[in-house]
Amino acid sequence: MRWLVGWSSTAAGMSGGSVGYDGRRDADAAYGGQVGYEGETLQPVGSHLLWGDPDPLWAVGDWRPDEVRVVSADAQNRIAVLGTCGATDEQLRVGLSAARGGALRHLTAWPGSYTAIVRVGRRLTVCGDLAGVRPVFHTPWEGGTAYATAALPLADLIEANLDFGHLAALLAAPDVPAALHDSTPYDGVRRVPPGHALILRAGAREIVGYEPVASLAVAAPPADPDSAVDAVRDALVEAVRARLSAPRHVPDIDPGPVPGMGPAERRAARGMPMPGIGADLSGGPASGTLALLAAGLPGMPGTLLGHGTGAGERLLAVTFNDLAVGGGEDELQRAGALAASPRLHHVVAAGAEETLPYADMDGPLTDEPGPSLVTVARHRARLAAGSADHFTGYGARQVLDAHPARLADLLMDRKRRHLVRPVAALTKADGSVLVPARVYGAARRLARTPYRAGVEGLAERLLHRRFGSDDSGGALGASLAALTWGGAGPAARWLTGEALAEVSVRLQSAAHRTGVGPGQRPGDYRARAALTRHSMDLRVLEQAAEIRSQRLHAPFLDNQVVRACRALPETLRVQPGARAAILRTVLKGAGVTDLPPGWGAPSQASASAAARAGLRMAIDPLLGLFEAPLLAEAGLIEARVVRRALRAAAAGELLPLDGLADLISLEIWLRRLLSRRGTCWTGTPARARAVPAGIAPQRRAVSSGG
């Protein structure tokens, strides 16, 4: 894990010299830490000081030298950028000058994925991203405010207990921002919403948004589809170019040959990526677009041998072939056809039974829980065959596809004729002539339902265990269930009544909060919530499946790409096959036209088939996991109910497997958290850490009347 952490205190600290990240002595700053327990300096373990007291900032973890940049205008005005940022030093100085005057959006408009922190005197500004893959957290501490890009260091600092209301909301309503609000799994540690910045002034905190939000009262001006797609192309090309222009990194030196193993197999067995740049190549449109863009842009990689400086480096394209389940032959053929380009070096990473979901549940502790914890083995097998810098297509579906609730947005904007094609596609998939009436009726109800009424309705359904599951199933059932302001999560049916009542209270409190309402149309609101949820799980996956010396890159989640995709007209994105058509146009504009037949077709490989197969194979360890689960000790589930559901799912009964994955991943995360021995800080009493008393449920809001 890599993060930054610091605090803003109410008073100036001690003076003295400090050594910064680059090893130079900073004469105007202090050592960057307060005196902690028994005179030991209070500072993060394994940290590098970027600037010192009175408001110190550290970079923690295995940051690359080019990933940490600090530009100073003078002793009191500085900007730090951590991550992959395509801005030059001069652009950073311009951004610093703009931030001094209060212009925050300028700090988030450079290509790449990064976190920007601006220090202007005693005012600190920490900008989160739009997707939520680079979040910012904060907590009150010592009369001021501590902040970080990870929640666990702050939880260690204040010895936070678990927030059981947040854990219940993760299971009961994970896609409803009103249920989660700004909470985290740690009581007292808060999250800055995506698209917002944290501003600290001498310990006092303020959260401000830097992104304009579409009005509910006035329809957005019509956007030109061609110009919008061109903007997506330009943003994607700049995002890829920002990674290609960064310095190349070579993993640790290979210690030597192993009998019977080639170089690639030896590196994979030792958990070492290949040097250079690579990309996923699943056969789908998102990963294929990034691989072709990265290989086709001028420069490296993708430069043919004998042409240009540094020629001969080919992009390493990795395709995962699931031998345990099968069904992905068409995608494998498309990936092979794409990789026939001389600019690509194609590698197929085969996965057998040991890479099925639930096959390997050992791993590192992540900052937060997430469903991807149960599929880490599959991702690690794929990433181990990748490069030191590896492109992935994560987020393309969330930023390009149309959430079903956008049909209600079209009705609100009086664009009924654009519902014809998506409804016709659902009718063809379901085979019922009643589909158009049901979909139109659900979209019309959502368009006429105020946000507050929608949240209160969900709270009422959870309280009375009415989860609104549609009996039609399939694409139609999922679409009808999504045509609401918020729905129950797939794991809600297995929660206790008290846990559901807790989430209901949180929703009712959110509905009655002053200034309630997202200020957006329901489809736009649900799409942003889905993107945030996906980004949170991607962050968990990146930490759990991390390969030493490797960096995962998800350009579709960059700020500028997200902005460009949000500008796409709804009438374009709701059409069937819109994502593939948009990406095909992007590639055509970049000079790539030779695509294999069937490119962009929906995937036929079923993730649910792999999940069911993995569940059957791991049923005995899973039953043991829920013999005396921590979730039951916390009052969120009843162990016998979950064990019965696991047996039924393994026997082939149609149950929501993603709900079981939520339960299992949360139980695994809790066990890892409570079994840890270390802490993120020095200088704390007895090396204080989060959840010092273990599972100790506090008085619930539902029982206290709060």
Q: List the beta bridge partners of residue 204.
A: 201
Q: What is the three-class DSSP state of 632?
A: helix
The answer to whether residue 146 scores a pLDDT higher than 50 is yes
The whole-angstrom separation of Cα 209 and Cα 70 is: 24
Distance CA 540, CA 538 (A): 5
pLDDT over 90 at 42, yes or no: no
Given a cut of 80, is residue 422 above it in pLDDT? yes
Taking only the tens place, the pLDDT of each residue in 325-338 is: 877 788 888 888 88
The percent of residues above 90 in pLDDT, for the chain, comes to 58
pLDDT at 21: 40
- pLDDT tens digits for 53-71? 889 999 999 999 999 999 9
Q: Tokens for 23, please give them.
A: 């090893």
Tokens 């007209």 found at: 569
Q: Report whether 202 contacts 122 (CB < 8 A).
A: yes
Rounded Cα distance between 496 and 501, Å, is: 9
Question: Poorest-confidence range of 75-79, 380-384, 432-436?
Answer: 432-436
pLDDT digits (tens, 9 = 90+) for 538-564: 999 999 999 888 999 999 999 999 999
Q: Which tokens sit at 352?
A: 């057998």
Which two tokens mark 519? Answer: 């200020």
CB-CB contact of 81 with 115 (8 Å): yes
Which pLDDT value is given to residue 515? 56
Determine the average pLDDT of the residues in 273-289. 88
∠ Cα 280 286 287 (to 5°): 10
pLDDT in tens, 475-513: 788 888 899 999 999 999 999 999 999 999 999 998 887
Whether pLDDT at 457 is above 60 = yes
Mean pLDDT for the stretch of residues 16-21: 37
Least confident residue range of 575-589, 602-616, 658-672: 602-616
Per-position DSSP letters for 286-352, written without gaps between them: HHHHHHHHHHHSSSSSSPPTTSSTTTT--EEEEEEEETTT---HHHHHHHHHHTTSTTEEEEEEEE-
CB 284 within 8 A of CB 395: no
Tokens of 565: 């995709």
pLDDT value at residue 248:
79
- Give the closest residue to 388 by CA, choosing from 115, 66, 111, 69: 66
For residue 463, the model assigns a pLDDT of 94
Residue 29 has pLDDT above 50, yes or no: no
| pLDDT band, very low/low/confident/very high, at 13 (cuts 50, 70, 90) | very low
Tracing tokens 């212009």 back to the chain, one arrives at: 103
For residue range 593-604, what is the model confidence (pLDDT) as tens digits? 888 888 887 665
Residue 609: what pLDDT? 87
Q: Confirm if 53 and 6 have CB atoms less than 8 A apart.
A: no
What is the pLDDT, as a whole number, of residue 521? 87
Mean pLDDT of 279-286: 88
DSSP letters, 396-434, are HHHHHSPPTTHHHHHHHTT-GGGGHHHHHHHHHHH--TT
For the cut 70, the answer to whether the pLDDT of residue 258 exceeds it is: no
Sole residue written with tokens 């069904």: 327
pLDDT band for position 260 (50/70/90)?
Answer: low
Query: What per-residue string of b and e applies to 665-697 under the rule 16 or more CB within 10 Å gives b?
Result: bbbbbbebbeeeeebbbbbbeeebbbbeeebee
C-alpha radius of gyration, the chain, whole number:
25
Mean pLDDT of the chain: 86
Q: Is the pLDDT of residue 123 over 90?
A: yes
Q: What is the mean pLDDT of residues 626-644?
A: 95
pLDDT the model gives residue 469:
52
Res 23: pLDDT: 39
Higher pLDDT pick, 257 / 567: 567
Predicted pLDDT of residue 703: 44
Q: What is the pLDDT of residue 643?
A: 97
For range 111-133, the mean pLDDT? 95
Mean pLDDT for 442-455 is 93
Residue 3: Cβ-neighbour burial (10 angstroms; 0-12, 13-18, 19+): buried
pLDDT bin (cut points 50, 70, 90) of residue 215 is: low
Please tell me the pTM assigned to this model. Answer: 0.91
User: Residue 503: which H helix or E strand, with range?
Assistant: helix 497-511
